[in-house]
Amino acid sequence: MTQPAPLLEIENLEVTFRTEAGNVTPVRGVNLVVHAGRTTALVGESGSGKSVTSLAVMGLLPRPAGRISGGSIHYRLKSGEASNLVTLSLEGMRKLRGSEIAMIFQEPMTSLNPVLSVGEQIAEQVRYHTGMGSAAAMRRAEEMLGLVEIPDAVRRATDYPHQMSGGMRQRVMIALAMSCNPRLLIADEPTTALDVTIQAQILALIDRLRREHGMGVLFITHNLGVVAEVADDVTVMYAGEVVESADVRTLFRKPRHPYTHALINCLPAHAKSGSDGRRFVPSIPGTVASAAGAHGCKFEPRCSHATPYCQASHPALETMDGTHTIRCWRWSDL
C-alpha cells in the first residue's frame, strides 16, 4: 500500500530557547507525519515538548527567545507543492495560518477576545483573510456557528464569550478555526478543561469536520483514552523527543518502546489484581526527566530494561517496519 504524500511532515525538528541560564532545547529529534483526512495524535506527559512542537508548526514560538534551530517542517499546499515552514517569511506564515492551517487551544476563554461578540470575532477573521464585506462576513460567521452545532446560531452570534459555557466557547474556537476552510487543524488539548460528557460532544464534532472537509488533524493530548478514540496514527514524545510512532492499533496492541508500554499499562483502566487481592496499577518509577542534559537515552533513568549502554549513548529513531518507528537500543530483543 502506498500512502500519498503527507500533508505535514516534520523531520528532525529542534527548538531552542534562549534563557538567562543559557540555551535550552526543549524539543529535539521530532519526526511527525499528518495525512490529509486523518488524525495524528501527539501524546506525551508534561514537559514532553508536544505543545512547543505544535507552536513551532504554527510559527507561534515566543519571539525572540524561541526559535527553530534545526530540522524541517514540510507542508503540502493546496496547489500540491511543498513549502518548508521553517524558512517561510512571517508574512507568508500569517497568510498560511488563515487559509490553510488553523489551531485550537485548551482554554478557549483566554484565546477569545472578551470585548467582542463571538460573531464579530469570526467575521473579523473572515474579512481579514478573504476581503469579504461586513454583512457577508457576519453571515459567514453565523453559518460557521451553525456548522459547529451551536443551537440558535444567529442569536448566539451576538453573545460575548463570558456568556457561554466552556463547551460552547470551545465550539466558537472551532468555528473560528474552520471559518477559513483549513486543510490542517492543530488541536492542542482541546478537551482537557471540559467535563467528559461535553468532551464527547467536542471529539465527535472535530471528527465530523475532519471527515466532511477531508482535513488533516494534529491532535495533541496527554490522555490515552482520547488517543484511542480519535487517532489514526500516534506519535509518542518523551522529554523533548519522539520515542515511538505507529498506527493506533499497533501502538496500543504491540507497543515496542518501554515508555509507551509502561504508559499504557499504568492507566487505572488497566489495573491488575495483586497476590494479596488488592488492585494496583503498574506505575513508572521517578518523574519526567528534564529535556536538558543526559548523554544517553532520556528514558533510561526510569526504564526497567535499561543497560549501561543505554546510559552512555543516545539512540536514534529507527524504522522497525513500514510506518512503525522507535527510539530504543533494545527494541529488537525486548
Partner 1 sequence: MSDAPLVKVRGLTKHFGKAPALVHAVEDVSFEIERGEVVGLVGESGSGKSTIGRLILRALDLTAGAVAFEGREIGGLSQRDLRPLRRRMQMVFQDPFASLNPRLKVKDIIGEALDAHGLAQGPARLRRIGELLEIVGLEAQHASRFPHEFSGGQRQRIGIARALAVEPDLIVADEPVSALDVSVQAQVLNLLQGLRQRFGMAMLFISHDLDVIELMCDRIVVLYLGRIMEVGPAEEVCRRPRHPYTQALLAASPKPDPDAPRTRQLLQGDIPSPLAPPSGCVFRTRCPLASEACARAVPAMRSAGPDHRFACIHETEQADP
Minimum CB distance to partner 1, residue 282 (Å): 7
- Minimum gap (Å) between residue 111 Cβ and partner 1: 19
Q: Radius of gyration (Cα) for the chain, nearest Å?
A: 21
**In the complex, minimum distance from the CB of residue 41 to partner 1, in angstroms, rounded to a whole number:** 11
Minimum CB distance to partner 1, residue 47 (Å): 9
Cα distances from 247 to residues 20, 33, 67, 77, 139, in angstroms, run 40, 11, 30, 24, 40
Angle between helices 134-147 and 118-130 (to 10 degrees): 120
DSSP 174-227: HHHHHTT--SEEEEESTTTTS-HHHHHHHHHHHHHHHHHHT-EEEEEES-HHHH
Q: Judged by CB, which is closer to partner 1: 95, or 253?
A: 253
Q: Could you give the CA distance from residue 13 to residue 57 in angstroms, rounded to a whole number?
A: 10
Helices (H) and strands (E) in the chain, counts: 12, 14
| 260 touches 277 (CB < 8 A) | no
Is residue 311 a contact point for partner 1 (CB under 8 A)? no
- 162 near partner 1 (CB under 8 A): no
Residue from the set 82, 154, 288, 320 that interacts with partner 1 by CB under 8 A: 288
> Of 171, 163, 227, which Cα lies nearest the Cα of 202?
171
Q: DSSP secondary-structure letter at 274?
A: -
CA dihedral 320, 322, 323, 324 (to 10 degrees): -30
Q: How far is the CB of 163 from partner 1 (least distance, A)?
A: 12
Q: Where on the phi/psi map is residue 303: left (φ > 0), alpha (ψ -120 to 50), or beta? A: beta
User: For partner 1, which residue of 65, 136, 267, 292 counts as binding (CB under 8 A)?
Assistant: 267
Q: Contacts with partner 1 in 189-218 (CB under 8 A)?
A: 195-201, 203-204
Q: Is 6 in the site for partner 1 (CB under 8 A)?
A: no
For residue 119, the one-letter residue type is G
- Report which residue type is found at 225: G
Considering the rule CB under 8 A, would residue 280 count as an interface residue with partner 1?
A: yes
293 burial via Cβ count (<10 Å: 0-12, 13-18, 19+): exposed
Out of 81, 276, 321, 333, the residue judged to bind partner 1 by CB under 8 A: 276
Cα 126 from Cα 138, distance rounded (Å): 9
In whole angstroms, the minimum distance from the beta carbon of 119 to partner 1 comes to: 19
Answer yes or no whether residue 292 interacts with partner 1 by CB under 8 A: no
Report in angstroms how near the CB of residue 5 gets to partner 1 at its nearest.
25
Least CB distance to partner 1 at residue 49 (A): 14
Among 17-25, 82-90, 172-180, 224-232, the segment contacting partner 1 (CB under 8 A): 224-232
DSSP letters for 233-251? EEEEEETTEEEEEEEHHHH
The residue among 17 and 252 lying less far from partner 1, judged by its C-beta, is 252
Nearer to partner 1, 226 or 242 (CB): 226
285 touches partner 1 (CB under 8 A): yes
Choices 6-14, 23-31, 128-136, 244-252; region in contact with partner 1 by CB under 8 A: 244-252
3-state helix, strand, coil in the chain (%, to 5): 35, 25, 40
Among 222, 305, 314, 324, binds partner 1 (CB under 8 A): 222
Span interacting with partner 1, options 67-75, 119-127, 280-288, 326-334, rule CB under 8 A: 280-288
For residue 290, state whether it binds partner 1 (rule: CB under 8 A): no
Binding residue count for partner 1, defined by CB under 8 A: 47
What is the rounded distance in angstroms from the CA atom of residue 283 to the CA atom of residue 279? Answer: 12
Residue ranges in contact with partner 1 by CB under 8 A = 45-46, 165, 167-168, 195-201, 203-204, 222-229, 231, 248-249, 252-253, 262-264, 266-271, 276, 278-285, 287-288
